[in-house]
Amino acid sequence: MPGHMPAMHGRPQIVPRAMAAKENFVEGDYVVYPTHGVGKVERIATEEIAGHKLELIHITFEENRMTLRVPVAKARTAGLRKLATRKVFDEALALLKGRARIKRTMWSRRAQEYEQKINSGDPMQIAEVVRDLHRNAGQPDQSFSERQIYEAAMDRLAAELAALDNTDKGT
């Protein structure tokens, strides 16, 4: 038949992608979820939710005492990723030695940009926030909101570095 396309069955296409995604995240691995930081994959299981069977990745975030369930098929689009490689993290840490880029825009706009960078989950962008908000001796003190954003960025970097080095954040 001219113009006739063979019927495509969505199921066989979805399953391999889900299996491939499942192979990337393994129980016991540490992963990064952009808005929550570093968590641990507790299990990957199929559950029925509202009559639909979904394969879910269960991630625990000890610091927040929270468990997040992310559908395997949506893991990548949700921004879930494995820990950064040592090379990427070293590049992010090297950014900290650079000169702070002070923007002359309104604080509310800068704060919004900093929050977006932190919530991106990208170690390079988070390192930029730490670099830009760090205060050396002799510089004016940070405002309360600056300090909160700075500490959130430091916490995210420290958590990922600790998981990468298999230590705790304090060291």
Count of CB atoms situated within 10 Å of the CB of 63: 13
The structure tokens 């610091």 sit at 63
**Alpha helix stretches (DSSP H) within 10-143:** 10-24, 86-95, 107-120, 123-133
Q: Does this model's pTM top 0.85?
A: no
141-151: b (≥16 Cβ within 10 Å) or e: eeeeebeebbe
Within 8 A by CB and 6+ apart from 19, the residues are none
* Token reading at 170: 């304090």
All domains in the chain, ordered by first residue: 10-82 (2.40.10.170), 86-165 (1.20.58.1290)
* Token reading at 105: 């825009």
What does each of the 171 residues of the chain score in pLDDT, given as a tens digit?
444 444 444 333 333 344 434 447 889 999 999 999 999 999 999 988 888 899 999 999 988 789 999 999 999 899 999 999 999 999 999 999 988 888 888 999 999 999 999 999 999 999 999 999 998 766 778 889 999 999 999 999 999 999 998 876 555
Q: 43 - beta bridge partners? A: 58
